[in-house]
Amino acid sequence: MKKNYLFFIIILILFISSLLWWRFSGPEDTWICENGTWIKHGNPETPQPVTGCGEEANSMVNDIVITSPTLESEVTSPLIISGQARGNWFFEATFPIQLTTVHGLILGNTQAQAQSDWMTEGYVPFIATLDFNMPNDVDQGELIFEKANPSGLPEHGAEYRLPVKFKNN
């Protein structure tokens, strides 16, 4: 009886050890996609990814297309922003755009304006102009495109982040 008990304890210890090893053996300093959200794991050197992840990433790529500025391009004020978004991104033919530094300091806000009928499920071209003061101490930022959400309900919200660089004069 004691041999069976000892054998059971050893198997249990091995099982728990392998579970702990599996849980904590992943990449230590990285961003992990969990339930459509980027989660910080350890202390990653890179900033949080700006693309969506999981199923949300696939739908986000299909919801908005930015033609100008391009990914990580150098921007100056005034910034002309253009692209296409699905009609459900608009409310009263607009949706908000915000420019921040990588540290989250808001540099400016504007509204994307639909250039054709926005009451559609298809793509609608938009344009916006954003005036902002160039930051002195930061050379990277993000344009945040936010789906119009007049209800304020989180399940109806969405955003897309585009990394940009600030042109040093």
Confidence (pLDDT) at 155? 85
Q: Please, where are the H alpha helices in 25-87? A: 54-63
Which residues, 6 or more positions from 101, have their beta carbon under 8 angstroms from its beta carbon?
107, 135, 138, 140, 141
Q: Which CATH superfamily is domain 62-166 in?
A: Immunoglobulins (2.60.40.10)
61 pLDDT higher than 50: yes
Task: Tell me which amino acid residue 56 is.
Answer: E
Lookup: tokens for 26: 């992943």
Q: List, for residues 34-46, the tens digit of each pLDDT value.
A: 766 667 777 776 6
Please tell me whether the peptide bond between 150 and the residue prior to it is cis, using omega within 30 degrees of 0. Answer: no
C-alpha span between 126 and 24 (Å, rounded): 46
Confidence (pLDDT) at 54? 54
If phi > 0 it is left, if psi is from -120 to 50 it is alpha, else beta; for residue 137 that is alpha
Name the β-bridge partners of 146: 159
Confidence (pLDDT) at 103? 86
Average pLDDT over residues 22-45: 66
Lookup: tokens for 119: 């009451």
More confident of the two residues 33 and 59: 33
52 pLDDT higher than 60: no
Contact 122, 138 (CB under 8 A): no
C-alpha span between 120 and 20 (Å, rounded): 50
Confidence (pLDDT) at 59? 42
Domain ranges of the chain: 1-49, 62-166
- CB count within 10 Å of CB 8 equals 10
C-alpha span between 93 and 119 (Å, rounded): 8
Q: List, for residues 92-146, the tens digit of each pLDDT value.
A: 999 999 999 988 899 999 999 999 999 988 889 999 999 998 888 888 999 999 9
Q: List, for residues 149-169, the tens digit of each pLDDT value.
A: 998 888 888 899 999 998 765
Confidence (pLDDT) at 58? 41
